[in-house]
Amino acid sequence: MPPPLTRRRFLGALAATALADRLRAQETPRGRAEHCIFLWLGGGFSQVDTFDPKRVGAPAERVAGSAYPSIATAVQGVRVTEYLPRVAALMDRLTVVRSVHHNVVDEHAAATLRVHTGRPTTGTVAYPSVGSVVAHERGALEPGVPAYVLIGYPNVSRGPGFLGPRAGYVYLTDTSAGPAGLTRPADVPPDRQATREYLLQQLRQPGAAMQGYDQAIAESLRLSGPQFLRAFRLEEEAGALRERYGGEFGQRCLLSRRLIERGVRFIEVSHNLNFLNGTGWDTHNEGHERQHLLIHELDVALAALIGDLEQRRLLERTLIVVATEFGRPSAFDARGGRSHQAAAFSMVLAGGGLRHRGAYGATDELCQRITERPVSIPDFHATIYASLGVDPARTLYDGPRPVPITDGGRAISALFA
């Protein structure tokens, strides 16, 4: 029975909704990436000292500029700091988005939330993190593994918000510990676990009301079994490869690759090992002095990850993101460090089947303003989602309330072939 032409239908046709939808669909590119490794450089990494180099300044005299000289890369015309030689050689596999911006600079937590959820703090909606949205939309690639793994400390910004616990993460704080809740205690070897499960089985005869929980028990026993947990045995990897990845951060990247191979969809890896320079990427004051150690560690790990994924033919289907809560100004503070800057900073995309170009967007001579192709956080998120085949405009529901996945974000179409 064809519906009659109502007034609303008529108006709808006039508004050309369908046409607008078609146009939008054409505009929204879709990538084919299956996984995402989201490297989080907490503290706010300094784009002028890494991926958006400017003229060299002088901390002592408080002359603004980069801290280190820059070098050429595999992409002509794109330069990065001299502490990123390995990444520079792979520059055609990645794109530095140099024109990212938002407006939260005062507090790390608020800016971290902004970059993870793409939304400001509100009292009415708890927005999900990018990892939770991907977990919710795409689930794990294989059964029996979690969709979203966090290698770092549990934080609010990384959580599932209104999507609820099913879109949450399994976390571990260092690669040797294994994930919280899934790693058996050291004094429970397999035979003892078998005894425990046998005994539990005797007590597990619940009525229908508890059956859901009973099934969760069965699932958790599987998940904490040897099959998934084997991913965490980095010692299975060749010594040379482990060395190529470098220190703890590199080992986290290597673990991410192993998790991807088992079907984990989204992995957030925290790189804020502040013992290298005292402050991690939050390079105020003295923290700046040994910032190059952090940059070096990033260079080693990121290059190894890109190379390793490429060799295993996983790079095309794995989007690597290097993200941070904000950048830093080219000016120096009184003790030789840098404060925060959100008006113009860089984030990096690598692999994932995108058409990489070394760099996208540009800033002025001291990175104070964006001069070309500004990319908002929703735009940046939209690019991540689109590359993973998720429609950034899709509507999620917080109860009855519709919430688009991104707040009007538009993917960077130049990166899609």
Task: Give residues 101-140 in contact with other proteins (rule: CB under 8 A).
Answer: 107-110, 112-113, 120-126
Indicate whether 220 belongs to the interface with other proteins (CB under 8 A): yes
Helix axes 291-311, 248-261, angle to 10 degrees: 20
- Distance of closest approach, residue 215 Cβ to other proteins, in angstroms: 7
**Of 72 and 177, CB closest to other proteins:** 177
Q: Are 231 and 248 in contact (CB under 8 A)?
A: no
Q: Does 204 bind other proteins (CB under 8 A)?
A: yes
Tokens of 118: 């793409």
Least CB distance to other proteins at residue 59 (A): 18
- The CB-of-408 to other proteins minimum distance in angstroms stands at 8
CB 397 to other proteins: min, Å: 5
Mark out the alpha helices in 350-401 (DSSP H runs): 377-387
Helix 130-138 vs helix 108-117: crossing angle, to nearest 10: 20
Query: Residues 247, 274, 357, 414: which binds other proteins (CB under 8 A)?
Result: 274
Instruction: Let me know: does 34 contact 388? Beta carbons within 8 Å.
Output: yes
Whichever of 251 and 272 has its CB closer to other proteins, that residue is: 272
Say how many residues touch other proteins, by CB under 8 A. 91
Q: Which of 27, 219, 236, 372 binds other proteins (CB under 8 A)?
A: 219
CB nearer to other proteins: pick between 85 and 278: 278
| Calpha distance 364→373 (Å, rounded) | 12
Question: CB–CB of 81/55 below 8 Å?
Answer: no
Please give the Cα distance from 167 to 175 (Å, whole number): 22
**Amino acid letter at 261?**
E
Q: Distance (Å, rounded) from C-alpha 113 to C-alpha 103?
A: 12
The residue behind tokens 């941070």 is 324
Give the residue, chosen from 25, 63, 72, 210, that forms a contact with other proteins under the rule CB under 8 A.
210
Q: Which of 226, 238, 275, 417 binds other proteins (CB under 8 A)?
A: 275
When asked if residue 233 is in the footprint of other proteins (CB under 8 A), the reply is no
CB of 232 to other proteins, least distance (A): 13
157 near other proteins (CB under 8 A)? yes
Residue 262 corresponds to which tokens in the numbers above?
Answer: 């088992």
**Does 213 sit near other proteins (CB under 8 A)?**
yes
Name the CA dihedral angle for 410, 412, 415, 417, rounded to a multiple of 10 degrees.
40
Mask for 49-88, x = binds other proteins (CB under 8 A) = ----------------------------------------
Check binding of 395 to other proteins (CB under 8 A). Answer: yes
The three-point CA angle 92-97-99 to 5° equals 150
Q: For residue 302, which of 243, 355, 253, 247 has the smallest C-alpha distance?
A: 253
Under rule CB under 8 A, which residues in 306-325 are in contact with other proteins?
325
| Contact stretch for other proteins (CB under 8 A) within 40-48, 296-304, 363-371, 379-387 | 40-48
Using the rule CB under 8 A, which residue among 168, 337, 361, 392 binds other proteins?
Answer: 168
* Closer by beta carbon to other proteins, 53 or else 287: 287
Handedness of CA 247, 253, 254, 255 (dihedral sign): positive
Binding-site member from 170, 260, 384, 388 for other proteins (CB under 8 A) = 170
